[in-house]
A and B are shown apart, each in its own frame.
Chain A
Amino acid sequence: MAFTNEQIERYSRHIILKEVGAKGQKKLLNAKVLIIGAGGLGAPVAMYLAAAGVGTIGIADADEVDLSNLQRQIVHQTADVGKPKVQSAKETMEAMNPDVKVITYHEFISSENILDIIKDYDFIIDGTDNFPAKFLINDACVMAKKPFCHAGIIRFQGQLMTYVPGKGPCYRCVFKNPPPKDAVPTCKQAGVIGAMGGVIGSLQAMEAVKYILGVGDLLTGYLLTYDALKMQFRKIKLPADTHNCAVCGDHPTITELIDYEQAECDGTGL
């Protein structure tokens, strides 16, 4: 595949980089990334991956754009209110970069459909806003041997970690089980500062790009936390021992996907 003059110009700032080059840009154009949740986190991920020329981007979300989303979900515009989020995100990504093929999944992910959805993708982004979805994504990615980047945001705080099969702990190694229902407020109840999705989602996009290019160190074996009020990042080393994990350990006790009960006011796509 040879670049067109337009592609040379569009991706010039990538191609100039020693770590990317023409070969790296071709890797991006041939890559397939799935974003689960077209909300506060998924929005910047979708936009940066589309701009970067990730050739195939899948996006899953069952919700429609709500006026209250627009304070942070920058992939959607005021005129998109009422439209399926995946459709609105697809339109934005395609308008940004015609090289990108966007595949939409206008449905809730569940134990029934997740393995079938993730199977064609190279890297998965967890941009969801609830624990049942986060554990489901983790377990499915462990079982299907797919790398993914977890993230969560609330109020002025955010966190992320990356899982690559065989390269360190999974989400369940760290957070054994979902917290009891209603023990933790959702974003809807607690609020979230808009730019938090931009900070953490952009870091998720960076992890996906680095994974595709095969450059640098990923956030495997670490949890990165960000406290915006204290303006503090912490990179916390996670225990390397994964042997006893219920899903990725040597003798997993979780061998089937679980649909945990969701707090009533939850929805996907923070």
Chain B
Amino acid sequence: MAEYNITDSIDITDVNCPITFVKAKIALEELDDGDILSIRLNDGEPVQNVPKSIKEEGHEVLSLTENGDGTYQLIVKKVGD
């Protein structure tokens, strides 16, 4: 993660689908074009759906890495304003 200049981070491990994506989307809307958002999310449904939905919105998924505790770290670059 150190290679990215993270603008903002959110943790969506405490919510279920679709609030996971909704929270990520709200966080992204508050950023500017090119900003980087780091998202901590759970294995399973969130990791299957959230990156896909974010891509469908036109943003760029830079990386998805396992944290080793059943959660993942998703790094997204905001595209557009």
Given A12-B22, A16-B22, A23-B29: 14 more A-B contacts, CB < 8 Å: A8-B19, A8-B23, A8-B26, A9-B19, A15-B22, A15-B25, A15-B26, A16-B21, A16-B25, A18-B57, A21-B25, A22-B25, A22-B26, A22-B30
A-B complex: 7 closest residue pairs judged by Cβ atoms? A22-B29, A22-B26, A12-B22, A15-B22, A8-B22, A12-B18, A21-B29
Q: By the criterion of a CB under 8 Å from any partner CB, how many residues of chain B are at the interface?
A: 10
Identify the A interface with B (CB < 8 A): 3, 8-9, 12-13, 15-16, 18, 21-23
Give chain B nearest CB distance to A168 CB in angstroms.
31
Q: A3 and B26: CB pair below 8 A?
A: yes
CA distance A12 to B21 in the complex (A): 9
CA distance A175 to B29 in the complex (A): 45
- Which residues of A have CB within 8 Å of B26? 3, 8, 15, 22
Give chain B nearest CB distance to A2 CB in angstroms.
9
- Which residues of B have CB within 8 Å of A9? 19
- Which residues of B have CB within 8 Å of A16? 18, 21-22, 25
- Which residues of A have CB within 8 Å of B30? 22
Give chain A nearest CB distance to B57 CB in angstroms.
7
Q: Mark B12-54, 1 if CB is under 8 A from A, else 0.
A: 0000001101110110011000000000000000000000000
CA distance A13 to B19 in the complex (A): 9
21 interchain pairs, CB-CB under 8 A: A3-B26, A8-B19, A8-B22, A9-B19, A12-B18, A12-B19, A12-B22, A15-B25, A15-B26, A16-B18, A16-B21, A16-B22, A16-B25, A18-B57, A21-B25, A21-B29, A22-B25, A22-B26, A22-B29, A22-B30, A23-B29
- Which residues of B have CB within 8 Å of A23? 29
